[in-house]
Amino acid sequence: MTILRASKVETPTFHTKAWLVWVVSSVAVVNTIENPFVLPLVFGSLSAVAGSFARPGPESRSFATLVKIGITFTVIRVVLFVATGHTGVTTLFTSPELHLPRWLGDLRLGGRVTAEVAIQSCLEGLRLAAFLACLGAFLSVTDIYRVLRLLPRFLAEAGLVVTIALAFVPTMFRAAAEVRDAQRLRGHRVRGLRSIVPVAIPVLASGLERSVTLAESMEVRGYGRRLEGSARVEAWARVAALAGAIVIAVGSSFLLFSRAPLWMGASICASGVGALGLAFAALSRVVPRTRMRRERWSGWDWMLAGCAGMTAIGAFAMRGLNPAAATYYPYPAAFWPPFHAGVVMIGVAISAPAFLGAARKGMLARADERHPSMAPKAPDSVGVAR
Amino acid sequence: MKRRTRAAILVAGATALLALGPLPTSEASPCASVLAAASTNHAGLVVQFADGSMRQFCIPFTESSVTGLDLLVRSGLPLRYQDYGGGSVAVCMIGGVGCDYPSKPCFCQCSNPNKSCRFWGYYVWNRSTGAWSYSSNGAGTREVHNGDMDGWRWGEHRSPNPPPASTFAAVCSGSSTITPPPSSKAKPPKTSGAPTSTATPPNTSETRSPTTVASDGARIASSTPAGATVSLPTDRAISAPPDRGGHLPITGIAVVVGFGVGLGLWGARRFREARRVPP
């Protein structure tokens, strides 16, 4: 009985901005801590988070998909690097060598295969895979449309276009599944490449139909509409934005490449940023758009953002204060990476949302048991606009 | 799908483990075997440090050619370099002078474009003109043949700033400066006729025949201007970069794999639970 009850309460998710903080800090950890000991922890933590907040839709599959893509990249990378790079002193084995001519890149294929090249290429590949896994976990647990709603108002139309483009893939998946089921009901055996035609053609047809419907509905809802008399404001704002961007480019090149004093480049950059900000504010004012169904930022979101921020600060501090423990580079001679408890703490801290979510779910379940009717609505923390 | 997720996580863990896989604890340098075999080829190596002191090496090798990086590695000088894959490298630190990559960037003294930019400049010796010139290749892709010579110098290199002029003959003339690495594992060569005691450094007497070097050197010396020989190098106490690594961290591996696999399996189970509920 209690099991049935508990399973009724879904794990409540967090505010999209809290998730954004979390994914940025996770990527920061992957980027700053190069100690290989962090990698299994990062993958494990991301799996725990993606699993804890998984929903039945196809979006939740993105974590597994991106991890698989990352592992594939890693394997390809190791093979290519081992075949072409022969630096390092620890020879694993020697294979026949093929020296390509100069016009083919002057590469030496095969030959001495060293442990250093294998280790380094594998670690770099896995670091890339971990980065993809962070992205996959973020896509699995958040609603991408809510993420796009965080854009400033004048970018709302661009955001809408991106939303539609993003919706394309899951919609295709769903349409393909529907068509496959329908064909199966008709007695068609769906298997492998041979059934591509009976599945793909209906999917394409429905996709075209859907896009026409979408365009009509956007037209009806006034896509691209502006306030009366806003054309001049908009034109000036665009000119100001362009000027601001150019000024920023000039200022940063002053900062980077010239011997001019620092304050000069900095002030040029600042004026460019100011112009850009004014232009964006003006552009936002002419877009008549309000937000509906805002998300509520609760104490749990504060806790998640705090955990994520502390994780990132910890990672940066470790990189700065103890670079020997935070980095690992096998060249010129491979060695065992140093083990450091801080690495373990940082790696496990990425799984904070999973533990916070479990705690919150437990509280909700207990409240539900005490007062079944009074239990707060858990799964969707969306409130009405204030 | 869920089984595959778990499999993917396990694969990730296993790959990470493989990455940490069995490493030989001894850093047997390849020159050990090279020295043991009859080495037929020689290349010179001149390294000039920040304080102007120099080290010269005459490196024997049996291959028809080695890379410039191989030459540096076989000199036995402690080394740090950044590898870009495909054989291209940037040398960051030689003999404790330079940038301790990866704790610092490889070109750590070039971070401010307005100030000086110091790094290990790579020069190759031209046999016909007898002069140093910028190497057009990186150390990892430059091919060093018998009678070639490489030069490294720490400093600014906006205009060519090579080590002092020298000749292959001077470096490889069999004088006391010919000091290939004090390789710990090198066995005395069996090829030489005269029995030698094991205490003898394997490189001073047997590995090269003085006559070959002399004739070789004479041939080269004839084509170089007289007086191009270098002043006697001052030997420098080489400071090794900070020690890294050590023994196999069994506890660390156990802790990390335990946490990682545990969290991963927890996530996979929760994923399966969530997907079982109909939408």
Query: With 80 as the cut, is the pLDDT of residue A301 above it?
Result: yes
Residue B123: per-residue pLDDT = 92
Q: Flag whether A6 is in a domain.
A: no
A239 in the same domain as A183: no
Instruction: Work out how many domains chain A is built from and give that number.
Output: 2
Residue B24: per-residue pLDDT = 41
- DSSP per residue, B191-244: SSSS---TTS-TTTTTSS-HHHHHHHHHHHHHHS-TT-PPPPPPP-PPPPPPP-
Subunit contact A41:B244, Cβ cutoff 8 A = no
A361 in the same domain as A305: yes
DSSP, res A77: H
Subunit contact B259:A344, Cβ cutoff 8 A = yes
- CA A58/CA B1 separation, integer angstroms: 12
The domain in which residue A264 lies consists of: 230-286
Segment 48-67 of chain A within 8 Å of chain B by CB: 48-52, 54-57, 60-61, 63-64, 67
CA distance A207 to chain B (A): 23
Query: With 80 as the cut, is the pLDDT of residue A147 above it?
Result: yes
Residue B114: per-residue pLDDT = 65
Is B251's Cβ below 8 Å from some Cβ in A? yes
Find the CB nearest B23 among A52, A107, A115: A115
Q: In this predicted structure, which of A7-16, A142-151, A261-270, B59-68 has the lowest mean pLDDT?
A: A7-16
Q: Flag whether A350 is in a domain.
A: yes
Q: In this predicted structure, which of A89-93, A150-154, B163-167, B231-235 has the lowest mean pLDDT?
A: B231-235
Chain A residues in contact with B256 by the CB 8 A cut-off are: 37, 40-41, 339, 343-344, 347
Is residue A328 helix, strand or coil? Answer: coil
Q: What is the pLDDT of residues A335-357, one digit of tens each?
A: 888 889 999 999 999 999 999 99
Per-residue pLDDT, averaged over A174-193, amounts to: 81
Residue A374: per-residue pLDDT = 58
Q: Flag whether A386 is in a domain.
A: no
pLDDT band at A120 (very low <50, low <70, confident <90, very high): very high
A265 in the same domain as A200: no
Q: Flag whether A293 is in a domain.
A: no
Q: In this predicted structure, which of A73-87, A184-198, A241-255, B7-21 has the lowest mean pLDDT?
A: B7-21
Residues 6 or more apart in contact with residue B21 via CB below 8 angstroms: none
Asked if the bond preceding B30 is cis, omega within 30° of 0, the reply is no
- CA A339/CA A337 separation, integer angstroms: 6
Chain A residues in contact with B249 by the CB 8 A cut-off are: 336-339
Q: Which residue has the higher pLDDT, A24 or A289?
A: A24
- List the one residue out of B155, B164, B165 whose CA is nearest residue B224: B165
A270 in the same domain as A215: no
Q: In this predicted structure, which of A116-130, A140-154, B78-92 has the lowest mean pLDDT?
A: A140-154
pLDDT band at B211 (very low <50, low <70, confident <90, very high): very low
Query: With 50 as the cut, is the pLDDT of residue B1 above it?
Result: no
Query: With 60 as the cut, is the pLDDT of residue B250 above it?
Result: yes
Q: Flag whether A328 is in a domain.
A: yes
Contact A381, A17 (CB under 8 A): no
State the average pLDDT for chain A: 84
Residue A353: per-residue pLDDT = 95
pLDDT band at B7 (very low <50, low <70, confident <90, very high): low
Query: With 50 as the cut, is the pLDDT of residue A47 above it?
Result: yes
Residue B186: per-residue pLDDT = 37
A to B CB pairs, distance under 8 Å: 210
CA distance A111 to chain B (A): 12
CA distance B221 to chain A (A): 31
pLDDT band at B258 (very low <50, low <70, confident <90, very high): very high
Is residue A296 helix, strand or coil? Answer: coil
A253 in the same domain as A172: no
Query: With 90 as the cut, is the pLDDT of residue A152 above it?
Result: no
State the average pLDDT for chain B: 69
- CA A197/CA A175 separation, integer angstroms: 14
Q: Flag whether A149 is in a domain.
A: yes
Is B238's Cβ below 8 Å from some Cβ in A? no
Segment 125-154 of chain B within 8 Å of chain A by CB: 140-141
Optimal mutation site among B270, B272, B273, B277, interface A, most CBs of chain A within 10 A:
B270
Q: Flag whether A25 is in a domain.
A: yes
Subunit contact A40:B12, Cβ cutoff 8 A = yes
Q: What is the pLDDT of residues A217-227, one digit of tens each?
A: 888 887 877 77
DSSP, res A379: S
**Strand-strand pairing, B54-61 and B66-67:** unpaired
Per-residue pLDDT, averaged over B178-200, amounts to: 38
Q: What is the pLDDT of residues B87-117, one digit of tens each?
A: 788 999 998 888 888 888 888 888 776 678 8
A348 in the same domain as A254: no
pLDDT band at B223 (very low <50, low <70, confident <90, very high): very low
Find, in chain A, the residue whose alpha carbon is nearest to that of B251.
Answer: A339
A130 in the same domain as A271: no
Segment 139-178 of chain A within 8 Å of chain B by CB: none
- CA A84/CA A107 separation, integer angstroms: 7
A169 in the same domain as A109: yes
Residue B277: per-residue pLDDT = 60
Per-residue pLDDT, averaged over A123-151, amounts to: 90
Q: Would you give the distance in Å from CA A164 to the centre of its chain?
A: 18
Residue A386: per-residue pLDDT = 35
pLDDT band at B45 (very low <50, low <70, confident <90, very high): very high
Is A37's Cβ below 8 Å from some Cβ in B? yes
pLDDT band at A103 (very low <50, low <70, confident <90, very high): confident
By percentage, how much of chain A surpasses pLDDT 90? 38
Per-residue pLDDT, averaged over A283-308, amounts to: 85
Contact A340, A322 (CB under 8 A): yes
Subunit contact A256:B256, Cβ cutoff 8 A = no
Find the CB nearest A332 among B73, B114, B141: B73
pLDDT band at A231 (very low <50, low <70, confident <90, very high): confident
Subunit contact A34:B102, Cβ cutoff 8 A = yes
Residues 6 or more apart in contact with residue A97 via CB below 8 angstroms: A108, A109, A110, A111
A113 in the same domain as A90: yes
Per-residue pLDDT, averaged over B265-269, amounts to: 93
pLDDT band at B182 (very low <50, low <70, confident <90, very high): very low
Q: Flag whether A211 is in a domain.
A: yes
Per-residue pLDDT, averaged over B21-33, amounts to: 41
Query: With 60 as the cut, is the pLDDT of residue B10 above it?
Result: no
Q: Which residue has the higher pLDDT, A207 or B235?
A: A207
By percentage, how much of chain A surpasses pLDDT 70? 92
Is B3's Cβ below 8 Å from some Cβ in A? no
A86 in the same domain as A174: yes
Subunit contact A126:B12, Cβ cutoff 8 A = yes
A147 in the same domain as A206: yes
Give the CA distances from residue A356 to residues A135, A368, A380, B234, in Å, rounded to whole numbers and listed in that order: 20, 18, 16, 64
Chain B residues in contact with A61 by the CB 8 A cut-off are: 1
Subunit contact B245:A117, Cβ cutoff 8 A = no
Query: With 60 as the cut, is the pLDDT of residue B180 above it?
Result: no
Find the CB nearest A54 among B16, B20, B270: B270
Residue B39: per-residue pLDDT = 57
Find, in chain B, the residue whose alpha carbon is nearest to that of A38.
Answer: B256
Query: With 80 as the cut, is the pLDDT of residue B241 above it?
Result: no
Residue B100: per-residue pLDDT = 86
CA distance A242 to chain B (A): 28
Q: Which residue has the higher pLDDT, B210 or A312?
A: A312
Chain B residues in contact with A128 by the CB 8 A cut-off are: none
- CA A284/CA A60 separation, integer angstroms: 33
By percentage, how much of chain B surpasses pLDDT 70? 58
pTM above 0.80, yes or no: no
Is B24's Cβ below 8 Å from some Cβ in A? yes
Segment 333-372 of chain A within 8 Å of chain B by CB: 333-339, 343-344, 347-348, 351, 354
Q: Dig out the tokens for B28 from the structure.
A: 């047997």
Query: With 80 as the cut, is the pLDDT of residue A15 above it?
Result: yes
Find the CB nearest B266 among A7, A41, A48: A48
A103 in the same domain as A120: yes
- List the one residue out of A141, A162, A137 whose CA is nearest residue A66: A137
Subunit contact A89:B113, Cβ cutoff 8 A = no
Prediction ipTM score:
0.74
Q: Dig out the tokens for A287 from the structure.
A: 């877009």
